[in-house]
Structure 1
Amino acid sequence: MSVDHLTRIESFEEVYDLLIVGAGPAGLSAAVTASELGLKVLLCDENASLGGQIYRGVTEASSAQKACLGRDYAAGAKLIARFAGSSSSYAPRTAVWSVLPLGAGAREENGLEVGISLDGAARVIMVRNVILATGALERPFPIPGWTLPGVMTAGAAQIALKTSGLVPNGRTILAGTGPLLYLLASQLIDAGAPIATLIDTTPAGNRRHALSYVIDFARSPYGIKGLRLFSKVHRHIRVIHGAHTLAAQGRDRLDEVVITHPGGTERLAADLLLLHQGVVPNLNLSLATGCNYGWNETPATFSPDIDEWCVTSIPGVFIAGDAGGIVGAVASASQGEIAGLSVATRMGRLTEAQRDALAVPVRARLKNALRGRAFIDTLFRPAKAFRIPVHSDAIVCRCEEVTAGGIRDAASLGVVGPNQMKAFLRCGMGPCQGRLCGLTVTEILAEEHGISPADVGYYRLRAPVKPVALKELAALPKTDAAVMAVTGFLEKQE
C-alpha cells in the first residue's frame, strides 16, 4: 500500500470522504489516522514536497543539513514515511482556494464544495469533511525600513537553509523575539554563517509575568532544549537584550540597523536583517469558510474557535495544529490524530466510545507537548511598540504601500473596522489578502478608538483566498442556471 500521487487536475476524483489542507505535522498525522480507519483521503499542499514549514525538505536533506538543522527536524522523516505507506491520495503544488458548504437541497454526505488549482488549471470537487491544517504565518513586524532589500523574515531564511542549503554570506543581524529566532541563530552558527548580532526585543516585564509558568516549562520537552539553545547562542555571538526601538536604514538597500536599548543608541552595519516576532495562525482559509473566531490576548492574535475534537462552527470543517492556535510541531501531530478520529466518528467508522478510547494515549502525548506553552506564549509576547508602529510613515500594508499614518487618519474619520476602512484605503486588498497587515491594522484601529481588538475584528475574507488566474475560473464547469444568469441565453447543442 502506498500513497497515490496526483499531478494532473483531471486525476482528482469527484468526491472524497476527507480533504486535508496542509502537509505539515497535523495534516500528515490526520491523513494517516483517517486512511487507516478506511476513509478516502486527499491531502493537498502548495509545496512540492511533504513536511510543511517545520519539516520542509527533510526527505531530500543531506546528513550535513540534518546535523545542522537538529534532531527535531530530522524526526519529521518518520512521520512522512508513515504517510507514504498509507492509502491516501496526495496532491503537491496544489492550492485550495475555496471551501464552502453546499447550498440548500444538497445531499448531506457531499457536505462541502472545494476549489482547487494545479498547474494552471482549476477544478471544483466535493468532499464530506475538511481538516484545515494550514499552519502558521510569521507575525507582521512593521518597523521603519522593513521593506528595504536586505530585510527579510527569519522564516524565509530558514526555508532557504532547509530547501537549498543556502546561508547568508554578509554581515547578518537577527532581530525580534521568540524561540524561532534563537533556533535559526543556532542553525546558522552551525552552518558557518557570519552572524554579527542578535537583537532581542523581548520586553523585560514579560519575564516577571512568565514566572508563574516556569515550573511547567522546566518539566516540559522545551525546558532543557531551550536552555541549551539560549546558552549556545550567547556563547557564539553578541546578543543585545532589551531593545525598545529598531529601524532598518539605507538608500537603495539595507546599510545599517539602528537600535536603542538600555545601554544607549547603536548603529550596526549590516548586509542582511532577519526579523521575527513569533508566529500566528494562518486564518485566511478558515475565516473565508465561515468559521467563528476570537481574540486571544496572551499571544495577541486571532484564532478560530475549536473544541477538544478540533470541531469548528461549520459542520464538516475541522482545524488541527497551528492553524487553530500555536502549539508546536509535536502537539500539532497529536491534534492531527484527534481530528482524524473525529472525522472517522462523524462518518460512522467509529463509535464515540471507540473514538474516546483511541484518543486516550494521543491526549497524553498532547498534554505533555503543551506543557510549557503558557510560559513560551507569555515570555515571548511581542512588545506593543513592535506590533503597532509608532512612526506614521512606517508601511503597514506592503502590497498597497499604506502607512500607519494613513490608517490613523482613516480612524479619525470614524473608521472603526478593517472592512469599513477599505472604502477609504486599499489596505488588505493586495495579493497577500491581508496576511502581512491584518493584525497590525486591527491593533492600530483598536488603539485609536480605545477598544479591544476583539471589538474591531479582522478582515472579512472571501474565496478565492489565493490568487487564481481568470482563465482558470472561466474554464470551470458551469450550470445552465449560472450561464443563463450571466448571458441571458443558452447555446443549443447540435
Structure 2
Amino acid sequence: MRHYDLAILGAGPAGMAAAATAAEAGLSVCVLDEQPHAGGQIYRDVERVAALRGDILGKDYTRGATLTAGLRHAAITHLSGAVVWAIEHAFRISFTQGGAAAQIAAERVLLATGALERPMPLPGWTLPGVMTAGAGQILLKQSGVLAQSAVLVGSGPLLYLIAAQMVRAGVPPVAMVETQTLDDLIRAARHLGGALRGWRYLLKGARMLAEITSARVPRHTGATGIAIAGESRAEAVTFTSKGRAHRIPCDTVFLHHGVVPNTQAARSLGVSHIWDRAQSCFVPSVDDWGQSDVAGVFIAGDSAGIGGANVAESAGRMTALKVAEELGRLSATERDRQAAPLRSARNKDLAARPFLDRAYPPHAAAVAPDDATVICRCEEVTAGDIRRYAALGCLGPNQAKAFGRAGMGPCQGRYCGLSVSVILAQANGLTPDATGYYRIRPPIKPVTLGELASLE
C-alpha cells in the first residue's frame, strides 16, 4: 500500500489547486477522482474540449487548462476513474479503479468533492427528457450535444450560463421559466453594496443576460404551479406567471435551482454539519483553513460551502499551505505570507454571494412539493409518504428508514436526503439542524463483491 503526505478526493478547482501548491511545498500527493479526466464539473475534460468548443463554453471554462497542467508535477499521483468507497482509521482510503479495488494511506485528507445540484422535484420531473441543467452542460462539454427544443426551469446563475452557451451554439432555449420574484430581488438589494466588491461576477451575469435578451429568448419570472406534462416523455411545461397560465411545448426540460455541498464523504468521517439558512443546505464545520472538527480531515471548495470556482481554487491552495505547515514543510510565518493574497482574493470573490443567495432562492414548491410528487427516485417514495411517516412519529431521516425505503437506493440518499430532511422538519415543526440528515456509512459508493475480492 502506497503512503502519501496528502490524499485529495476530487480533481476540480479546489483539488487541483491544492495538489499543485502542496507538491510545490514538498509534499507527496495523491489525487483520486471519479472522472477519466481532471477538471471537475466546472472544467470537465477541459484539455480536450477547450479546442473544440471553447468559444461556446467561454473563457471561464478554458482557463481550467492551467490548473489541469499543474497535476503533471512529479510529486503528484493522479488516479483518474477512481471511485472512493471508504475512508478508514489512519486515513486508509479504499477505492475502485478499472474494476479492481485498491487502497492507499495518507497523513492528511482533503475532501474537494464539490457540489451537487439541488434536487428540484416537481410534478413530471421523472419523465424521460427531463434532466438537470448540469447534466445538459455535461452533454455539451463532453459530446457537443445540445437539445433542439429545450425549456430551462428554475433560477440561479447556472441557468443563465447554460442559456447563454446554447445561444452561442446557435440552439437557443425555447423559453426560460424562472422562479425568482421581484420581492426576492428587493430583499437582495440590501446586499448589493457589498456585492460590488465582486463586481466581475455581476458584470459576467449582466453580459449573459444581454446575450439571452439579444437572442429574444422568452423569460417568464415569478413562475408558480410548475409541472412537466407528458405521457411517456416530457412534452410541455405548464405554469402560471404574472397571473397568466402558460403551456410551452418542448422535447427537453432542464431543471436547476441552485447547488449544494456534496457532504457524503465528510459525513462518513464524522465531520459535524450545520444548516446554512442563507444557502438552504447543510455545510460542514470548518475553519478558515478548511480544517474540520475531525483531526487531519480538511474540506475545501464547494464541498465546504458554495462559492464558485475561483473561491474553490483559493481555498484549495490555502488548505495545502496549512497541511504543509502541519507536516513541517513550511513555517507558520511563511504559510501566512503565502496565504494572505489568497485569502484576499477568496473574500473578494465571495462578496457577491449574499446578494446571489437572496436574489435566487430555492423554489419553495420544489423544496417541499405536494404529496403526489416523487422525492426518492431510486425507491419511488413520495413527499406524501414522508409526511405520513412524520404523522406516525418519525422525527428524522434515519428513523424514516424504519417506515420506508427513502435513501436506501443506489444513490444512498445523495439526491433525496436534503428534501427528506426539509419535509420532515416542516411536518414536525422543527429546524433542519434538529431534524438532521442521513447517517452515512461506508461504502459511500456502490461496490461489487468482485471488486472487494480483488483487494489484496
> Displacement, 1:319?
0.3
Note if 1:177 corresponds to 2:155. Answer: yes
Query: Which of 175, 184, 187 pairs up with 1:206?
Result: 184
- In 2, distance between residues paired with 1:24 and 1:308? 20
Per-residue deviation, residues 4-53 of structure 1 (Å, max 9, x unmatched): xxxxxxxxx52111100100100000000111111110001000101100
Query: Which of 153, 158, 162 pairs up with 2:137?
Result: 158
Aligned match of 1:31: 19
Note if 1:22 corresponds to 2:10. Answer: yes
- On the 8 A contact 1:98/1:289 being kept in 2, the answer is no
Aligned match of 1:402: 381
- In 2, distance between residues paired with 1:382 and 1:231? 24
Secondary structure class of the residue paired with 2:17: helix
- On the 8 A contact 1:218/1:224 being kept in 2, the answer is no
Moved more, 199-208 or 277-286: 199-208
Identity of aligned residues (%): 44
> Displacement, 1:320?
0.5
- In 2, distance between residues paired with 1:85 and 1:436? 36
Instruction: Give runs of aligned pairs for residues 342-357 of structure 1, distance below 5 A.
Output: 342-357=322-337
Structure 1 120/64 Cα, relative in aligned 2: closer, same or farther at 3 Å? Answer: closer
- In 1, distance between residues paired with 2:29 and 2:172? 45
C-alpha RMSD of matched pairs (Å): 1.2
- In 1, distance between residues paired with 2:357 and 2:28? 37
Secondary structure class of the residue paired with 2:275: strand
Compare CA radii of gyration and give the structure with the larger one: 1
Note if 1:320 corresponds to 2:319. Answer: no
- On the 8 A contact 2:54/2:62 being kept in 1, the answer is yes
TM-score by length of 2: 0.97
Q: What amino acid is aligned across from residue 28 of structure 2 in structure 1? A: K
- In 1, distance between residues paired with 2:249 and 2:350? 39
Instruction: Give the number of aligned pairs.
Output: 454
- In 1, distance between residues paired with 2:93 and 2:182? 46
Aligned match of 2:48: 60
- In 1, distance between residues paired with 2:382 and 2:173? 31
Instruction: Give runs of aligned pairs for residues 354-365 of structure 1, distance below 5 A.
Output: 354-365=334-345
Aligned match of 1:76: 64
- In 2, distance between residues paired with 1:246 and 1:134? 31
Aligned match of 1:142: 121
> Displacement, 1:86?
4.9
Note if 1:411 corresponds to 2:390. Answer: yes
Instruction: Give runs of aligned pairs for residues 112-127 of structure 1, distance below 5 A.
Output: 112-127=91-106
Secondary structure class of the residue paired with 1:378: helix
Per-residue deviation, residues 118-175 of structure 1 (Å, max 9, x unmatched): 1111123221111000000000000011000010110000011011111112x21000
> Displacement, 1:259?
0.6
Q: What amino acid is aligned across from residue 91 of structure 1 in structure 2? A: L
> Displacement, 1:217?
2.1
- In 2, distance between residues paired with 1:234 and 1:407? 41
> Displacement, 1:82?
2.5
> Displacement, 1:232?
1.9
Moved more, 30-39 or 56-65: 56-65
> Displacement, 1:62?
4.9
Q: Structure 1 unaligned segments of length 5 or more: list them.
A: 1-12, 103-110, 478-494
Per-residue deviation, residues 304-360 of structure 1 (Å, max 9, x unmatched): 000001000111110000000001000100000001011111111112222111111
- On the 8 A contact 1:36/1:86 being kept in 2, the answer is no
- On the 8 A contact 2:167/2:173 being kept in 1, the answer is yes
Structure 1 86/371 Cα, relative in aligned 2: closer, same or farther at 3 Å? Answer: farther
- In 1, distance between residues paired with 2:4 and 2:267? 22
> Displacement, 1:219?
3.5
Q: What amino acid is aligned across from residue 239 of structure 2 in structure 1? A: I
